[in-house]
Structure 1
Amino acid sequence: MKTKRKVDRRVARTRQMLKDALISLISEKEFAAISITDIINRSDLNRSTFYAHFCDKEELLACIINELIEGMMKSMQESPSITDPCQNGYARPTHATIQLFTYVAEHAHYYKTMLNNQRVPQLAQRLSDTLYKFYLKEIENHPDREDPLNLNKGFFACYLTSAVIGFIYHWVVITDLKYSPEFIAKELTKIFTMKPYIPYLQPSTSC
């Protein structure tokens, strides 16, 4: 049993080295320009080791994206709805919302590299598709909740998705993780609950 655990740790470590190497290279040049030789040189591993784990660089990239998406969604086990008011009039962000941003912070280098340019558009698209399906399901699973605006479920899910991805991008790429996950979760909660005044979005009072 100890030998198996040792082998498992060695496999995980090797795969992590290959993933780190690819992310490092993506920060420097286009994915299309990256070769297997680049990856093994950067990871200080040999070619046979690479092919023992991945058939090509596309499979390696897919593995990274899948793990980021799966880890992010796993962190959101609670319902993301924000319905817990505090005395100051704001709502507390749910544990799921905080956990979401905590996960992103723990993998910030990966998110920053892959969202900071157009070299790997697959991550942004997969994030959008996955979050949209998640939020749409949450909305459809709670038809009993009051909805005085009678919002279109698809557009509402799209709004939630865009807000979360926008927050992740601004926090990780623009501010370089200047704020804590708890702060980001609170700021997102304010938008969902306080409805900031934006003049050009206000309905016209004229007939």
Structure 2
Amino acid sequence: MADCYRGDKRATESKQHLRKALFQLLREKEWGKISVQDLTKRAGIHRTTFYQHYEDKFDLAQQVMAEMFDVMKNAIFAPVSEEDWQEEHTAYVYIFRFYQHLQEHEEEYQILLKRGRELNIRQTVCAFFEDSFSLGAEEVADKKAARHLVPLDMQKQFVMSAYAGTAEWWLRTGRPYSPDFMASSMIQLIQNPSK
């Protein structure tokens, strides 16, 4: 049992070192110029250890990004106490947590924005928004469905695109507004765009 624990701990540490190496190298140079050798050297591990966990550098990048978005999803959708809810704006807590998480992990998300096209992260980002914001988007859309004849799937796509685009703008411009302001403003824009 102790050997199994040590093995798991070593594997976790190796993965953490590789993740750190990945972001350090992405900060310094283009994705196409980063090799597995660069990654293992920077992480201080052997190539055989790398290949125990990943098929290649693309597999490493995809697993790291998937893990990042899982962590974000867990942060956003952690249990919410009743006093945290704003009754007329039930999505506020989730949107606030989304911006708060981006702020806390800004450096890594800035690197993903800079290298996103090289890393081909569009599919991962789309899957994240589809999984994470469908519930919130549907809640907002359902309340308006009786008043508007816009199909629910179109409303959902609009809301998700708005969140993704605005979050990207917010990071690229150096977070000019607080997470609280962003959450309140996003709700106002979605629900009452003319105000």
TM-score, normalised via structure 2 length: 0.77
Q: 1:186 to 1:7 in 2, by over 3 A?
A: farther
- State the distance in 1 between where 2:141 and 2:160 align: 19
> Do the aligned partners of 1:108 and 1:172 also contact (CA within 8 Å) in 2?
yes
Query: What are the Cα deviations for residues 41-78 of structure 1, in whole angstroms up to 9, with x where unaligned?
Result: 22222222222322211110111121122223333437
**Unmatched 5+ residue regions in structure 1?**
86-90, 198-207
> Do the aligned partners of 2:113 and 2:168 also contact (CA within 8 Å) in 1?
yes
Counterpart position of 1:54 = 54
Matching residue's letter, 2:18:
L
> Do the aligned partners of 2:26 and 2:115 also contact (CA within 8 Å) in 1?
no
- State the distance in 2 between where 1:142 and 1:160 align: 9
What SS does the aligned partner of 1:166 have? helix
Task: Please give the residue correspondences for 1:86-165 in structure 2 after superposition, counting only pairs within 5 Å.
Answer: 91=89, 94-132=92-130, 134-136=132-134, 145-147=143-145, 148-165=147-164
- State the distance in 2 between where 1:146 and 1:153 align: 10
Moved more, 38-47 or 134-143: 134-143
Counterpart position of 2:13 = 13
TM-score, normalised via structure 1 length: 0.73
RMSD of aligned alpha carbons: 3.2
Matching residue's letter, 1:62:
Q
Matched residues, number: 189
- State the distance in 1 between where 2:17 and 2:73 align: 24
Query: What are the Cα deviations for residues 126-172 of structure 1, in whole angstroms up to 9, with x where unaligned?
Result: 21244235545666689964521121222211111111112221222
Percent identical residues: 22
Q: 1:134 to 1:52 in 2, by over 3 A?
A: closer
Equivalent position to 2:186, from 181, 185, 188: 188
CA shift for structure 1 position 113: 0.5
Q: 1:57 to 1:2 in 2, by over 3 A?
A: same
Task: Please give the residue correspondences for 1:169-180 in structure 2 after superposition, counting only pairs within 5 Å.
Answer: 169-175=168-174, 177-180=175-178
Counterpart position of 1:68 = 68
- State the distance in 2 between where 1:113 and 1:143 align: 33
CA shift for structure 1 position 114: 1.0
- State the distance in 2 between where 1:47 and 1:126 align: 26
Matching residue's letter, 2:151:
N
- State the distance in 2 between where 1:170 and 1:139 align: 20
- State the distance in 1 between where 2:95 and 2:139 align: 18
Matching residue's letter, 2:154:
F
Matching residue's letter, 1:84:
E
Q: Is structure 2 residue 42 aligned with structure 1 residue 39?
A: no
Query: What are the Cα deviations for residues 149-206 of structure 1, in whole angstroms up to 9, with x where unaligned?
Result: 121222211111111112221222321x454433322222221233146xxxxxxxxx
- State the distance in 2 between where 1:140 and 1:185 align: 17
- State the distance in 2 between where 1:115 and 1:165 align: 12
> Do the aligned partners of 2:72 and 2:101 also contact (CA within 8 Å) in 1?
yes
Query: Which has the larger Rg?
Result: 1
- State the distance in 1 between where 2:73 and 2:33 align: 31
- State the distance in 2 between where 1:23 and 1:192 align: 34
